[in-house]
């Protein structure tokens, strides 16, 4: 239930088209629904414009399935589950119709509402090994209604691969840069453009990358302004934030 | 020199109103100007929409003054120097007319061009001790042409101070959250709004805050999506990024 | 053997109802019992009011079984083993009657004495993935004789889920807050109540949570006073400490 | 203004003894008072039983003085400022009558209301160098209305100094252990008593103590249950938490 | 070949009892023997009084077998291999007669020369989970010719278990303390005795013990002098060092 | 395609021996070739003198095979893939003729062009457990056309093993030192020679080596000048850098 | 008061040469003496063979003076204060006769009893900058009655300086190695000798030595067995431990 | 005394032109000279081709002067002292003729022998604040006889400043890259050239750069091969290593 749907309901009540009792029974579960092990935040779609997203790590299959079923029942928009392995997907698919699985990105998506794509988000990755995180970002943004372009494997060891595609940088409203190892790509992109850059450090690498710490610190210390950073391997967070930013170009029109 | 000014110059050349030699002498210093100890990136204003910003830490007074003079001479927009102590400001003020100093924020500003303020950026701080960073963010955004609102000292130890001002959250296009200690405020704000939140961890605190590490990690691990993070105490970076985002609501109209 | 039982024994000796030799044979094993690989601290129940608790990690099945058997034989109160996997439980169950297993919490419990529940401890968790740690805390406290209430999945991404249950906060004598990721929930709760809050960081999360470090530092730097912290994932320690605090409200009456 | 005072006011309004307008003018500033650079949380005394405490680090003298004046005007209980150097104290003393200064503990106290001391909190320190933190804890607890006993310089290098004073351990309701270096004292005390122990790591030491990290980790990993931990050098937090716990023995009677 | 054996050989040469050629063929492999993947340090027994010890981790079975065979052929004293899993042991046993395996300690021992035990080394462990490391220390010391006494599971959570055995502390020439979690036992023992204490932190624990870092830092910061520290889980190193120290009491007589 | 081959092509075009269209079709794929998941940097051989090297970790078998095929087709020099497990090798071998596998070093090599070996690179390792990294370095250098000598298992616990082979140190143009644990060997070698030393810390060890951090920090802090360092376990990087240095002795002649 | 003196006193009591009352008044202050801010551990000399040593850091001048006076009055052996700056020394010297100051080592010594030097401790330092720590170790050992030899500035950048002095290594019973930067010297020495080596990392260096962490980790990971480690810059601890070891060669004779 | 000078001396002895006694008196101080607090490594010039360099940090003025005097007396080449503040320089200048001071680089240089400059080393810096480290590198290399070119302030925020100077990259034999903050410049340069790159992380920056750690990790994880790294702020080490490499192009000719 999003803001529009809620307002309509209230207008119906005011006009007497819906009985108070009926409205009450619809709304009473709204703020959250208690599944004992989880309080589903049905109100989130109204506050944030997108329903609660299920973080599968550390949850049992049964818990994920139960939460997904309630979210799908209640939401106006598509429903997303992140960090889902194949086994979890299969458990969900058995009970939730139309659940799709994106293996590289480890995402489960249940599409709802219009699937229109607006604006332009560019997802850049430094290397092929960064693909899972880059795809998590790209698909999250797409599911949230954004047009997404991909520019993969353009790391700084061969910087001409990036420089030859400046038109893609030009066209984007907001850019996501996904890079492991030293994460230098975020600074390079940040130095070339006049739009917000969301940097995603990945855990790709070994030794003194300390599980992504090297790329994380590198991106936080970017000498190019306009770069902000999300957690290591957090493609979802980058896609979500980029979506909020990209929407600004739409909403205000 | 920004994009508009550059295009006009080229049109003048095309129309024959400016001689090639004259245009050449204007443009030849454009990409960067070599001061031996510094290569001033005059081209940055064209690429990024705002001139190079001077990071004063680790530079001598003489170096800052020389760089500021050239930047002021060349830029269309206001010129900014960060992390400037009073002594540096005085050296600059002696040679650069109209240099203003903001002591709390340690900023030197030389205002140029129209000072119109657009859109709405909200800067929230957790405590009074976070003020220097919050002001660096707010002033940077203002100097870059954004309307800025402040909501200070609303940390989570007394969360009603924040909740009572939800209208300010509503009105903003993008929100900067400045917090030290455990930095929880970023997650709270991120959970309440449907707009991008830029979190700035500060070094306020002691002991196991390890110079801002606690707030930094806290913000990077925010369970509320839509939060991205800049370096510890990097108010400037937050203000700059917020400006890029806020402009999106303007540019596309 | 607890304080009361010990005093009775001594009174019996004084009254001549128990022979010195007999009392000696009961007491001689009291301070500790030597199993070669372990010195069972039978005296702990007298000192601490609750028998030694078996930490199963790093012990062989045979060692855990041997220790449990002696503790059960000697204790007046229930006996607890933590971090027990199913295989260890089965080995214990084969030799110790009435051993129960709580799989989520990885606890083995052998209930002894009265199972009365007193006072009120509230266990709050931020997310469903924090359940194992929250349940370890809740069950430890229950086994130690405390009334325990649970309030799960009320993390700060949807803070209304917590705010709507303020009555539960009101009723508790001491509150345990279990949270991973950025651990902000501890500060929020700490800011709302006038009772001691015991914060348990969990390792739930990824990347820059560094195995729970993010939540740990966050909780240690809480800007709300009245919050103290135990080790990452240490639900047992939180339940134990909460029990000591909750008992204060009883003992002094 | 605490809970009792607030209820009385409302009763007066109900009985017609106070006009609504008058009550309104008293209450309208209640939730917080906006000093531009600070929002004073006047409501905290009602929520937490003790007024907001001023953390002086990072605040200007002027800010501390302004906040202290408003807090003293509004509070029913004593008002406290922590981490205050002598210069700040003198600025406060010039405008706030009865402000006392405790140099070792770096505390400013303005005593209000009854100064009765209840229950029993024991503050133990490992070495003489830990005194500033131990005193911050002890004085905080005393100002909050608790009877406090001190047992200083009983570190584990000469454990008989502690063991010879077991009666002090016996008498306390809650114990604060302040220790730097390896912080082993917290585990020793935790192993001896059946009451909650609040451990305060200090930054006393050098080299691989890494500013108190060694003691902090040591205390978090205490093998004796019943120990919870506050931030490095956070004597105030320990005193505050101990007060909340000690009060439990009183309130419920 | 140790110092004594070498001197005898040279005396034989001098007396003409052994031909130069013969002596040469014995000595020519002495300094080290090259196995392509390893240079066996046959000279070590002369320099250090004990032959090279094989660290099995990261070596293939074939490499360990080849090195062990050469060491056994050349050494006067017993030969030791550490961190050997069962599979490696079986490969060694197939080719090296008399190879014994100590599973808990993960040691392979091939006893040679007199097995006399001298002096007195006491190995203390904090908990049952520390046994593998404690046994590695104890067995290493025994194999090197020292009398070893064990005192296990006497951690600080029940300090009376240690205090009741002060006679064992009295009798030892050097004490090894093995402890995980907060490692406080090293400081306690260090404060009680006037002999060198070698502290071995173990990785026993979880969360903020960070793989043994907590115990390591704790032991390095011991407030009791006379404590020195070896690497986390390095029972071998502790046993070896204790042997060098214990021998001092013998050699000089 | 390397620099020489490229120049020849252009000369052929100039002389009219190759048609523009033909040259164009050869060159149009040059800068990089887009495989959707990877942009193969065909230009790298011209810029760097050696083709792009495939880092297999985090890539699927299919991705590695596809990239290897294109690189082999395009390169003048041998093609290298690092961190390849046996399964990946088998997938490559099925489609790329002449692919060789070096199991210890986890390298796949496809030899092309002349296999002449020039100059002299010495690879020294501290222990047998360091072999995989040492071999990765040695083989990388050999494949890149360098003469390589090996000196293994000469760690500082038996420093005579190194000192007895000073002639090998003398003959080398550049030396690679591979060492885990405390990594002291790099400093020793650095103090003995007047040539560049490239130090490779390895993750060999346990406990406080923290995955190679100990050796890394040790090497970075070498008191002997002339030592530079690559990432932990980065044998490839060391071999590559040594090759660039060794070539200097050739190119300039 | 040491063990011998105590026994004599008791014998005197037994023989009736000293009245019980008199003996009582001597002994009643023995276990510790309470100075309010410090509990002086007079019993330590009996337990440890050397009186309590004063750690001056974090103590006021007045506290140090008061403690020193009592220790000097009570001890049979020399009294030591570490980390004393000149100002503290002067305050002590004004009240304690015969107090000597060693500026480099920052030690105050009050010599008592026989100043005989026994056995042989060798203190080796890597560089001239390590002198303060090396001297703290050497002087501590000397004051405790040990013969001490120094071998300074023999770091591994010029290893021949060490190798040329092997006779000094031969003669020592125990060796202290003091080194900053990469701390490799400890491993080298450990590989050359068959006696215990106590390694002292120093904070000498910069950048990635992280205040001595590099040398500390290096020494803990020494591949040469027989090396144990004390805290960074802890010359005192090394001297103390070496004294305990050196004495073993004496006591048992 | 370098290799050539030593050989000549020996030839003179052989030819009878120099008496043995005279040669002996020249050579007897060669290996090192003992100043009590320092052992001057006169032999280093023979081993390493350049005399010992004095690291001034942590040494007294008197010590530096004494060492410098002996080095200047003995060396054939120029003598260098690093990390020297002005006060130390003045003490040296008072006793050592021709001592020059380079304030930015904190170097003292005493030039000796021919000052010919060979080959080509390029020193690149990211920002003006990195100048002190860049100059330390450049001057060290110059003093050691290398031709040095500088390219300063070409950080990645304005990458065109670097790309426009590719000819400088082309001409160099070895390149030093000096960068703080995120240190991305090293990877960019490494990706553009086919020569060895020595990366020097600097401590320039704040917050999450953690004293240069961010740049250090970034450079160690460079995705461009051919990059090796020295300690944070270690301009001297980079200049020294670059000199060893640059000389390779000369020596072999």
Mean pLDDT of A175-202: 96
Query: How far out from the chain centre does Cα F188 lie?
Result: 24
Mean pLDDT of B141-156: 95
Q: C223 near B182, Cβ under 8 Å?
A: yes
Asked if the Cβ–Cβ distance from C228 to D231 is below 8 Å, we say no
Q: What letter would DSSP give residue H87?
A: H
Q: What is the per-residue pLDDT for B23?
A: 66
| Lowest-confidence pick of B232-236, D37-41, D205-209, F67-71 | D37-41
Mutate to test the interface with E, among G58, G145, G175, G226 (most CBs of E within 10 A): G226
In the predicted structure, residue H201 carries a pLDDT above the cut 90: yes
Mutate to test the interface with H, among G132, G153, G202 (most CBs of H within 10 A): G153
| Lowest-confidence pick of F20-34, F171-185, H219-233 | F20-34
Mean pLDDT of F31-40: 74
pLDDT, averaged across chain B: 89
Mean pLDDT of A232-245: 97
Q: What is the per-residue pLDDT for C109?
A: 97
Q: Which of F48, F194, F240 faces H47 most closely, judged by CB atoms?
A: F194
Q: G157 near F191, Cβ under 8 Å?
A: yes
Long-range contacts of residues C115-119, Cβ cutoff 8 Å, at least 24 apart: C115/C78, C115/C145, C116/C145, C117/C142, C117/C145, C117/C146, C117/C147, C117/C148, C118/C145, C118/C146, C118/C147, C118/C246, C118/C247, C118/C250, C119/C146, C119/C147, C119/C173, C119/C246, C119/C247, C119/C249, C119/C250
Residues of F in contact with H248 (CB under 8 A): 173-174, 195-196, 245-246, 248-249
Please name which of E35, E100, E33, E42 lies closest in space to residue E63, comparing C-alpha atoms: E35
Residues G107-150: tens digit of each pLDDT: 999 999 888 899 999 999 999 999 999 999 999 999 999 999 99
Q: What is the per-residue pLDDT for G8?
A: 73
Q: Which of B129, B152, B161 faces D57 most closely, judged by CB atoms?
A: B129
In the predicted structure, residue E251 carries a pLDDT above the cut 60: no
Mean pLDDT of B57-78: 92
Chain G residue with minimum CA distance to E240: G226
Asked if the Cβ–Cβ distance from G152 to H57 is below 8 Å, we say no
Mean pLDDT of F179-201: 95
In the predicted structure, residue C193 carries a pLDDT above the cut 60: yes
SS3 at position H176 = strand
Mean pLDDT of A142-148: 96
Residues of A in contact with H222 (CB under 8 A): 181-182, 184
Residues D81-130: tens digit of each pLDDT: 999 999 999 999 999 999 999 999 999 999 998 888 999 999 999 999 99
Asked if the Cβ–Cβ distance from E231 to G220 is below 8 Å, we say yes
Asked if the Cβ–Cβ distance from A152 to F38 is below 8 Å, we say yes
Residues G162-201: tens digit of each pLDDT: 988 888 999 999 999 999 999 999 999 999 999 999 999 9
Residues of C in contact with E208 (CB under 8 A): 212-213, 216, 231-232
Asked if the Cβ–Cβ distance from C39 to E154 is below 8 Å, we say yes
pLDDT band per the 50, 70, 90 thresholds, residue A253: very low
Q: What is the per-residue pLDDT for E164?
A: 84
DSSP3 helix / strand / coil % (chain A, rounded to 5) = 45, 20, 35
Residues C25-58: tens digit of each pLDDT: 666 656 667 777 778 787 788 788 888 899 999 9
Residues of G in contact with H59 (CB under 8 A): 128-129
In the predicted structure, residue F102 carries a pLDDT above the cut 80: yes
Q: What is the per-residue pLDDT for F28?
A: 59
In the predicted structure, residue E2 carries a pLDDT above the cut 70: no
Residues of C in contact with E129 (CB under 8 A): 55, 57-59
b/e A39-49 (16+ beta carbons within 10 angstroms → b): bbbbbbbbbbb
Q: Which of A127, A164, A207 faces F31 most closely, judged by CB atoms?
A: A164
Asked if the Cβ–Cβ distance from D214 to E210 is below 8 Å, we say no
Asked if the Cβ–Cβ distance from A233 to C206 is below 8 Å, we say yes
pLDDT band per the 50, 70, 90 thresholds, residue E25: low
pLDDT, averaged across chain G: 89
Chain E residue with minimum CA distance to G197: E241
Please name which of C132, C168, C170 lies closest in space to residue C149, comparing C-alpha atoms: C168
In the predicted structure, residue C216 carries a pLDDT above the cut 70: yes
Residues of G in contact with F183 (CB under 8 A): 182, 184, 218
Whether the CA torsion C239, C240, C242, C247 is positive or negative: it is positive
Q: What is the per-residue pLDDT for D23?
A: 66
pLDDT band per the 50, 70, 90 thresholds, residue A130: very high
Give the helix/strand (H/E) hosting E250.
helix E235-251
Q: What is the per-residue pLDDT for D90?
A: 97
HSE toward the beta carbon, residue C218, CA cutoff 13 A: 42
In the predicted structure, residue D196 carries a pLDDT above the cut 90: yes
Structure tokens belonging to residue G168: 């000094």
Spatial neighbors of A122 by CB under 8 A, at least 6 apart, are A148, A149, A150, A151, A168, A169, A171, A172, A174, A175, A176
Cβ-count burial of D253 within 10 angstroms (0-12 exposed, 13-18 middle, 19+ buried)? exposed
Q: What is the per-residue pLDDT for C253?
A: 42
Q: What is the per-residue pLDDT for B6?
A: 66
Q: What is the per-residue pLDDT for C81?
A: 97
Q: What is the per-residue pLDDT for H137?
A: 98
Q: What is the per-residue pLDDT for E43?
A: 77
pTM for the structure as a whole: 0.92
In the predicted structure, residue B235 carries a pLDDT above the cut 60: yes
In the predicted structure, residue C7 carries a pLDDT above the cut 80: no
In the predicted structure, residue B211 carries a pLDDT above the cut 50: yes
In the predicted structure, residue G41 carries a pLDDT above the cut 60: yes
Q: What letter would DSSP give residue F98?
A: T
Residues of H in contact with F193 (CB under 8 A): 47-48
Mean pLDDT of B14-35: 68
Residues A4-48: tens digit of each pLDDT: 776 776 677 777 787 766 766 666 556 667 777 778 787 788 788
Please name which of D14, B18, A124 lies closest in space to residue F39, comparing C-alpha atoms: A124
Q: What is the per-residue pLDDT for D253?
A: 42
In the predicted structure, residue E252 carries a pLDDT above the cut 50: no
Q: Which of A37, A52, A211 faces C131 most closely, judged by CB atoms?
A: A37
Give the B-side interface with H, CB within 8 Å.
31-32, 36-39, 41, 43-44, 47, 52, 55, 57-59, 63, 67, 83, 201, 203, 211-213, 216, 231-234
Please name which of D168, D192, D50 lies closest in space to residue D120, comparing C-alpha atoms: D168
CB pairs under 8 A between B and H: 64
In the predicted structure, residue G204 carries a pLDDT above the cut 90: yes
Q: What is the 3-state secondary structure (H, E, C) of chain B?
A: CCHHHHHHHHHHHHCCCCCHHHHHHHHCCCCCEECCCCEECCCHHHHHCCCCCEECCCCCHHHHHHHHHHHHHHCCCCEEEECCCHHHHHHHHHHCCCEEEECCCCEEEECCCCCCCEEEEEEEECCHHHHHHHHHHHHHHHHCCEEEEEECCCCHHHCHHHHCCHHHHHHCCEEEEEECCCCCHHHHHHHHCCCCEEEEECCCCCHHHHHHHHHHHHHHCCCCCCEEECCCCCHHHHHHHHHHHHHHHHHCC
Asked if the Cβ–Cβ distance from D129 to G213 is below 8 Å, we say no
Q: Do chains D and F touch (3 or more CB pairs under 8 A)?
A: no
Residues of B in contact with C184 (CB under 8 A): 156, 182-184, 187-188, 218, 222-223
In the predicted structure, residue H34 carries a pLDDT above the cut 70: yes
Q: What is the per-residue pLDDT for C40?
A: 79
Give the F-side interface with H, CB within 8 Å.
47-50, 53, 173-174, 191-196, 198, 216, 220-221, 225-232, 236-238, 240-241, 244-246, 248-253
| Lowest-confidence pick of B224-238, C72-86, C154-168, F137-151 | C154-168
Mean pLDDT of A145-169: 91
């Amino acid at each position: 239930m999003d803001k529009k749907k809620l307002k309509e309901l209230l207008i119906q009540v005011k006009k007497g088209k819906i009985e108070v009792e009926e409205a009450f029974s619809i709304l009473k579960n709204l703020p959250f629904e208690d599944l004992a092990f989880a309080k589903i935040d049905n109100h989130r779609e109204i506050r944030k414009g997108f329903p609660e997203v299920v973080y599968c790590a550390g949850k049992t299959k049964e818990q994920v399935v139960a939460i997904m079923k309630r979210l799908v029942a209640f939401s106006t928009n598509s429903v997303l589950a992140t960090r889902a392995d194949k086994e979890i997907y299969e458990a969900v698919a058995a009970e939730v119709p139309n659940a799709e699985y994106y293996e590289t990105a480890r995402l489960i998506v249940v599409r709802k509402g219009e699937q229109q794509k607006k604006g332009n988000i560019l997802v850049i990755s430094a290397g092929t090994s960064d693909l899972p995180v880059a795809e998590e970002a790209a698909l999250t943004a797409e599911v949230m209604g954004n047009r997404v372009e991909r520019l993969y494997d353009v790391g700084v060891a061969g910087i001409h691969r990036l420089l030859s595609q400046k038109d893609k940088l030009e066209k984007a409203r907001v850019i996501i840069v996904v890079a492991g190892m030293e994460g230098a790509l975020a600074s390079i992109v940040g130095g070339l453009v006049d739009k917000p850059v969301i940097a995603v450090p990945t855990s790709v690498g070994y030794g003194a990358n300390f599980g992504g710490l090297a790329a994380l610190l590198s991106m936080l210390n970017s000498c190019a302004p306009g770069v902000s950073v999300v957690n290591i391997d957090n493609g979802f967070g980058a896609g979500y934030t980029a979506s909020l930013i990209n929407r600004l170009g739409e909403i205000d029109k």
